Amino acid sequence: MTLKVMVSGATGFIGQALVTSMLKLGHDVSALNRSKADNLPRGVKQVVIGDLSNLKSSQIVDDLRGIDVVVHTAARVHVMNDTSADPLAEFRKVNLDGTMALARQAAEAGVKRFVFLSSIKVNGESTRPGKPFAAEDEPAPEDPYGVSKAEAEAALLTLADATGMEVVIIRPVLVYGPGVRANFNSLMRWLSYRVPLPLGMIQNKRSMVALDNLVDLIITCLDNPAAVNQVFLVSDGEDLSTTELLSRVGVSLGKPAILLPVPAWLIRSSAGLLGKSAMAERLTGSLQVDITKTRDLLGWIPPVTVDDALLETTRSFLSNE
Tell me which residues are annotated as active site. 145
Taking a C-beta distance cutoff of 8 angstroms, is the pair 203, 263 a contact? Answer: no
Instruction: Calculate the dihedral angle through the C-alpha atoms of 270, 276, 279, 283, rounding to the nearest 10 degrees.
Output: 0
Angle between helix 99-109 and 144-163 (nearest 10): 20
Taking a C-beta distance cutoff of 8 angstroms, is the pair 142, 124 a contact? Answer: yes
Taking a C-beta distance cutoff of 8 angstroms, is the pair 73, 9 a contact? Answer: yes
How many whole angstroms separate alpha carbon 12 and alpha carbon 17?
8
| Paired residues of 289 in beta bridges | 133
Q: How far is CA 14 from CA 9, 77, 121, 206, 215, in A?
A: 8, 12, 17, 20, 8
Residue type, 193: Y
How does DSSP classify residue 120? G
